[in-house]
Amino acid sequence: MADFPDRPGYSFDPGPPPEASRFLRNKGMRPAFSWADVEPEEHAVAFTVAKATELDVLEAIRGEVQKALDEGLPFATFKKNFRANPALAQWWGKREMIDPVTGELVEAQLGSPRRLKTIYNANLRSARAAGQWERIERTKAAFPYLEYRLGPSERHRPHHQDKAGMILPVESAFWDEWMPPNGWGCKCWVRQVTKREAERRGISTTPDIPDRVWENSRTGEASIVPEGIDPGWQRNPGKLRREAMEGILRDKLEGAPPAVREAALKDIATSWRVQRILRDGAPGLAPIAALPDDMTRAIGADTPIVSVSRETADKQLLRHPELLADDYAKLGEMLTSGRVIRQDDRNLVFLSRDTDRSWLAVIKRTLKGDELYLTTFYRVSSARYVRRIVARGKLLRE
């Protein structure tokens, strides 16, 4: 074989998608006796395997799944590594276990070739789908549509086959439920599409999909599942994960002492997360300031936390690209000490002045009152414009 001394000593193989790897690695642990004991929302944030009720066993299984994802291992290698793992030596075959729901002693199937294949496929596909959704949200300005595609299965489920080739906007509520995989063994996937291609091929009409009632035999609870999706697979894991993280952060800020909350929000306002939203159009939202209690009541909101979203970012970047990260850190002080004008039942205008000009911020609550958003923030150089703003509304604080 010829010698190539000038061949670079590195590979262009990028490895697994970092978003998918992070999605799986950051999951908590959720021991469970049955898959039906875990809600779809929990699957987005916790790793679980039916009959893996001991934490050390569950951690060992997750380690093997993580290795398979990170190293791109085929199922045969995953199975070999799993069987060679001493921490999993006893988790194989059948064993008598107490069902925590019924209290009965049952013969439970633990590890088996069939179960390993389910564990491998379900976890890797859901992690890759969640990672793909993060990339979709990040790049939807250039690729604002998704096409539903069938996988390489020999036989396809009729409801999945009916949707092959369907093109819908990323923002469509359809993807809240129908982001693949949509069931056990489902190999469907989505492809991002440009606006030009979507218009050329034809944008689909959102299908009217009937729902069915599924009763969980373990808990007795009934839930609504779209026809064609297996129970437990009816939620978009990537979107659920992001929403869960945002909700946890907001809850912690709401419960924090005022001084702690103020310091934390200043740090967040200048953080990479907010900058990614404001500069790069990253998906989701981030807390950036908090209203005083009297202003929270005045606007009829259930929360004092003010967030910045992708929608704000699009407008801010277009109209006020000169603003820096440190400028947004001023917002918290404006909300607590600046002049306040009520525009209407849902909008408050905040005005403050530094050395040479005024600052203006508009905070808007949602119709339900459960969220507050920064919709406008910029420097104002015209004193006449400020007077006009004041004259148009009701002054709440001087």
Same domain, 168 and 189: yes
Same domain, 181 and 54: no
Read off the pLDDT band of 280 (50, 70, 90): low
* Residue 242, token pair as written in the block: 């992001």
* Residue 216, token pair as written in the block: 């969980």
Question: In Å, how far are 17, 41, 71, 272 from 59, measured between CA atoms?
Answer: 22, 20, 18, 31
Report if residue 326 sits inside a domain: yes
Task: Output the pLDDT for position 165.
Answer: 95
Same domain, 194 and 297: no
Same domain, 121 and 182: no
Same domain, 386 and 329: yes
Rounded CA separation 22/69 (Å): 10
SS3 216: coil
Other beta carbons less than 10 A from residue 55's beta carbon: 11
Q: Are 149 and 191 in contact (CB under 8 A)?
A: yes
Spell out where 126-239 has E strands. Answer: 145-149, 167-169, 189-193, 211-215, 222-226
| Overall number of domains in the chain | 3
Residue, of 180 and 38, whose pLDDT is higher? 180
Same domain, 269 and 363: yes
Task: Output the pLDDT for position 355.
Answer: 61
Same domain, 270 and 289: yes
Report if residue 235 sits inside a domain: no
Q: What is the mean pLDDT of residues 266-295?
A: 78
**CA 297, 302, 308, 314 torsion-angle sign:** negative
Diameter of the chain measured on Cα atoms = 84
Same domain, 125 and 187: no
Q: Are 75 and 67 in contact (CB under 8 A)?
A: no
The amino acid present at 71, given as its one-letter code, is: E
Task: Output the pLDDT for position 5.
Answer: 39
Cis peptide before 181 (omega within 30 of 0): yes
**316 has a pLDDT exceeding 80:** no
Same domain, 125 and 195: no
Report if residue 350 sits inside a domain: yes
Q: What is the mean pLDDT of residues 165-176?
A: 94
Task: Output the pLDDT for position 281.
Answer: 65
Q: What is the mean pLDDT of residues 310-323?
A: 74
Last residue of a domain, one of 107, 136, 165: 136
Read off the pLDDT band of 192 (50, 70, 90): very high
Q: Is the pTM of this model over 0.85?
A: no
Same domain, 345 and 325: yes
Last residue of a domain, one of 136, 153, 174: 136
Same domain, 186 and 318: no
Task: Output the pLDDT for position 16.
Answer: 65
Report if residue 215 sits inside a domain: no
Task: Output the pLDDT for position 7.
Answer: 37
Report if residue 128 sits inside a domain: yes
Same domain, 128 and 159: no
CA angle 200, 202, 204 (to 5 degrees): 155
Q: Which of 179, 171, 178 is nearest to 195 (CA)?
A: 171
**Domain hosting residue 196, numbered range:** 140-206
